[in-house]
Structure 1
Amino acid sequence: MAIDVFSRCIAGFHLSLEAPSATSVGLCLTLVASDKVPWLQQRGIEAHWPIVGKPRRLGVDNASEFHSVAFERGCAQHGITIEWRPPGQPHYGGIVERVIGTLMQLVHALPGTTFSNPSERGEYDSDKTACLTLEELERWLAVAITKYYHLRPHEGIDNEIPLHRYEQGLQALAVANKTIPIPRDPRAFLIDFLPVVRRTLQRDGITIDHITYYSNALRPWIQLRNQPSPLLIRRDPRDLSRVFVLDAENNAYLEVPYRVLSRSAITLWEHKLARKCLREQRRTAVDESSLFAAIDEMREIECKAETLTRTARRNRTRRQIAKSEGAPTIAEATSPTIDIGPVLPFDIESW
């Protein structure tokens, strides 16, 4: 959840079944910076949500996702200053914590809530009464934000209405002849915040976690073999079918797909689950073929199962969400590579 401190408007959010990560932060920031009209239209919501543009400063806590190379490098590339909350000073996060508490009060009124703790839940059967899909819950949250939270007086801003205060702020910027920078391409903006991995370039391409990626665009690099250090690569955990390799000389990303193009798109959680299954089967060697065979087998079991376990239902939902969200593709940008501006060096990130 991201909140504009001046107006108390919600600038953006990201709802997921996954644990917080650099990717979820990037997806939240992408919604913060983007025009929300298409996002609302895709979800069939008629509402006014004018908050748009790249923030100049971000206040965050000290969670690992806010100390990742992906987050720090993305902010540096877009001129965003990071202010980490001082350790042991929880009141520095009071503004965003309060809005989360307000929204959670509304969420706990929904059927299927788990309440704040087991003792409060008592004998209530959350699984049996749950009726909302994750997509429906996302729409519910968007309506709660745009049609309820933004339009009610807020004590933190002298009982002003957040949306009115935000619009007053825009008018003040206009009078001062200032504007809020907006990303030219939201997908390119998201790539700048994806998790970072570094690998050396081999004759057959780039191998990451037993999967090899190759593109003809890498041929000149392979022939020269003049890469003194590992390549900086960004990978979207929602779609491992391609990676984005930094061309430091041209300040651009190259999209590099699977070497075997017939492989299906998979998510990182599927990849990890397949590796776990193969280890449990005591496979001594895990290779690309065995990984994809295991994933295909797991998908087939989930599709045929009449009664799915909670884990299987979540896995199926994860896959559907990753497909509907659409991971970033360079083909949809205005050029075959994405201009990322000045590049600053960072250490290797382990994720």
Structure 2
Amino acid sequence: MRVAEGARVAEGPVAERGVLTAHDEVWDTAVRQAEVIGPLAEKARVGLADADEAAAMLGISRRQVYVLLARWRAGEGVVSDLLPGRSSGGRGGGRLPDEAEAIVGEVLRRRYLTRQRRSVAAVHREIARQCRTRGLRVPSRGTVVRRIARLEPVSSVTAREGSDAARRLRSAGGAPPAVTGLLEQVQIDHTPVDVIVVDELHRMPIGRPYLTAAIDVASRCVVGLVVTLEAPSATSVGLCLAHAACDKRPWLERLGVEAAWPMSGKPRELYVDNAAEFKSEALRRGCDQHSIKLRYRPPGQPHFGGIIERLIGTMMELVHELPGTTFSSTAERGSYDSDKAAALTVRELQRWLALALACYHGQVHETLGRTPAGVWAEKAAGAALVTVTNETAFLVDFLPVVRRTLSRSGFVIDYVQYYSDALKPWIARREEIGRFVLRRDPRDISRIWALDPDGTNYLEVPYRTLSRPPISAWEQKAAVARLHELGRAEVDENALFTMVAQMRRITDSASAATRKARRDRQRRTPTPPRPKPAPPPKPPADQDGDGAARPFEVIEQW
């Protein structure tokens, strides 16, 4: 079906299966599922044990594993077979009659692809009018939206907004626009780390942590790195940005690592994908506060974030050399017992990664023809980089936002009261001020930061009852849920902290017995006590047992 000269609708089974239109998150989920389901489908019979193992790896039910297996075997054995919500109109077909499809195409050509830039609602109304006139079933608005999504992006934007607006998309067939200035653009992304870590107390496996990394595009230097047990969130992004913007020497000293990592400074542009954590109010406000431009990749064009994707992929290849690695697939892992071999804590994994990055920065980069460290040093000499000196103050601007009114007893957030004598001038004016903007660190909710009515500074406000122990947001939510399960219609602060104490005692007593309990215990203390400086550890021996530091011998170019 021809829509307009130079603007076309993608045709054929590939487009229908959603390869070109699937969101990044949906596609990534299908890729992960294919890595597990593909090898499983090669077996003549998939028993309950194999299905349960696959379900655990993918975080789905056993029934869903068999559903995915059936779809894989019934299809062509490709990733797109596992994409959700495929059309029931048949492979390569659509649900609309040919006459209705022709009306949709004609209206898109004459009314949508014009400089008048009519809305989807207006286009759908015209399609509905013409279909009713001819006695045809009216396509839903969702159908029209899907047809628009299949339009060739460059031609579509050119027709509606002009060639200047489409310039940002014209590199879709090659490389994204060049970036030459230091910290002119920093790409950031997350991934689960392909290694099982152990807890600090019992040295027992607690699962896979998450990595958030940031890379400077111009120099290919890694400027920020965060490893946590929490799933990616706005807080993860804030922590990584704070790590990127601050001097890393204190961080390296706390880890006991003797290595050079001089790359730091606030980025001028943050380039991210379209995940929810990158569209949070906390991140948008923090970037606005520090004049950091927040820019998103064009949907369906992952190569625009290829530099950070390459970095993460190569880091995971290095991690496969560590004890306790899960490798990238069950087929690659084979009979290797990741839990049994696990040996590194989160802190030790951070130390290993810091050493690996120090090696990377000193190696000649294939694309640059020089070392990333050398490029950084040269460009930094003539650049006005802004390094953050107060990491906590910087991080506060990226913490999750909560809005509350102020009472005579302070603020109340999730049944917990916060108060400080410094609030007294605000309390007298609270009715005229209205709701306050508050920031809270989910890892430790024992204090909040309240933005003053002028919107210039934050005031740190602790618990009203200072004897309360610091707890995390996930502990608070779990305690409230448990109280509701016990029939407590109303929750008060005393009951909340009593339940948290009971849950901690249960976790402590069971921490040597179950992975979840050990993980919960470790998450209570995300920042271990500051140790005395110690010599850097020897890199873990390779699996051949010869003790060679193989991960650092060859590092693929990022």
Which runs of at least 4 in structure 1 moved beyond 6 Å after TM superposition? none
Tell me by how many angstroms 1:286 deviates.
2.1
- Give structure 1 stretches of 5+ with no counterpart: 326-351
Q: Does 1:153 align with 2:364?
A: yes
Question: What are the within-5 Å matches in structure 2 for residues 161-310 of structure 1?
Answer: 161-171=371-381, 173=382, 178-249=383-454, 251-305=456-510, 307-310=512-515
Residue-by-residue CA offset, 1:234-255 (whole Å, 9 max, x unaligned): 0011111110000032611111
Which SS does the other structure have where 2:321 is aligned? coil
Match of 2:519 in 1: 314
Question: Does the 8 Å CA contact 1:238/1:322 hold for their aligned counterparts?
Answer: no
* Contact 2:247–2:389 (CA under 8 A) maintained in structure 1: no
Check 1:303–1:156 CA distance in 2 against 1; reply closer, same or farther (3 A cut). Answer: same
CA distance in 2, matches of 1:264, 1:323: 16
8 Å CA contact 1:56, 1:80 repeated in 2: yes
Percent identity for Structure 1 against Structure 2: 54
Closer/same/farther in 2, CA of residues 306 and 75 from structure 1, 3 Å limit: closer
**Matched residue SS, 1:237:** coil
> Displacement of 1:228 after TM fit?
4.4
CA contact (8 A) 1:239 1:265 kept: yes
| Mapping 1:65-104, distance limit 5 Å | 65-104=277-316
Q: Give the drift of 1:28.
A: 0.6
C-alpha contact (below 8 Å) 1:70/1:195 kept by paired residues? yes
Contact 2:420–2:464 (8 Å) recurs in 1: yes
Q: Secondary structure at the match of 2:223?
A: strand
The answer to whether the Cα contact below 8 Å between 2:511 and 2:521 also exists between their aligned partners in 1 is: no
Quote the offset at 1:214 in angstroms. Answer: 1.1
Cα shift at 1:282: 3.1
Q: Choose the corresponding residue for 1:32, options 244, 256, 270.
A: 244
1:92 alignment partner AA: F
Tell me the distance in 1 between the aligned counterparts of 2:268 and 2:307.
Answer: 18
Counterpart of 2:526 in 1: which secondary structure? helix
Measured against aligned partners, the alpha-carbon deviations of 1:179-203 in whole angstroms (never above 9, x if no partner) come to 1012242211111111111111122
Alpha-carbon distance in 1 for matches of 2:505, 2:469: 13
Q: 1:46 to 1:28 in 2, by over 3 A?
A: same
More relative contact order, 1 or 2 (CA 8 Å, 6+ apart): 1
Quote the offset at 1:72 in angstroms: 0.9
Using the TM superposition, give the Cα deviation of residue 18 of structure 1 relative to its aligned residue in structure 2, in angstroms: 0.4
Q: 1:95 to 1:309 in 2, by over 3 A?
A: same
Report the AA paired with residue 270 of structure 1: E
2:352 is matched with 140
Give secondary structure in 1 for the equivalent of 2:294.
strand
Structure 1 residues 216-268: Cα deviation after superposition (integer angstroms, max 9, x where no partner): 11222222333443110000111111100000326111111111111111011
Match of 2:363, as an amino acid? R
Aligned match of 1:60 in 262, 272, 287?
272
How far apart are the structure 1 equivalents of 2:248 and 2:420?
34
CA RMSD of aligned residues (A): 1.6
Quote how far apart the aligned CAs of 1:122 are: 3.1
**In structure 1, what is the Cα distance between the partners aligned to 2:355 and 2:477?**
35
Shift in Å, 1:163: 0.9
Aligned 8 A contact 1:36 1:50 in 2 = yes
Counterpart CA distance in 2 for 1:38 and 1:225 is 40
Distance 1:94 1:224 in 2: 51
Structure 2 gap segments, 5+ residues each:
1-212, 531-558
Letter in 2 for 1:11: V
Alpha-carbon distance in 1 for matches of 2:331, 2:478: 32
Equivalent position SS for 1:29? helix
- Which residue type is aligned with residue 112 of structure 1? G
Are the equivalent residues in 2 in contact too, given 1:210–1:287 (CA < 8 A)? yes
Please state how far the C-alpha of 1:284 moved relative to its aligned partner: 2.3
1:80-106 Cα offsets, whole Å, 9 max, x none, are: 111111111100110000011111001
What is the rounded CA distance, in whole Å, between the counterparts of 2:445 and 2:299 in structure 1?
35
- Give the match's secondary structure for 1:321: coil
- 2: distance between equivalents of 1:16 and 1:28? 11
The TM-score with structure 1 as length reference comes to 0.86
C-alpha distance in structure 1 between counterparts of 2:485 and 2:415, whole Å? 18
Deviation for aligned residue 1:136: 0.5
| Structure (1 or 2) with the larger CA radius of gyration | 2
Which string of whole-angstrom CA distances, capped at 9 and with x for unpartnered residues, describes residues 53-92 of structure 1? 1111111111111111111111111111111111111001
Q: Which residue of 1 aligns with 2:155?
A: none
| One-letter amino acid of the counterpart of residue 2, structure 1 | A
Distance in 1 separating the partners of 2:392 and 2:425:
27
Match of 1:127 in 2: 339
Range with bigger deviation, 148-157 or 70-79? 148-157
1:338 is matched with which residue?
none
- Evaluate the alpha carbon distance shift between residue 306 and residue 247 of structure 1 in structure 2; reply closer, same or farther with a 3 A threshold: closer
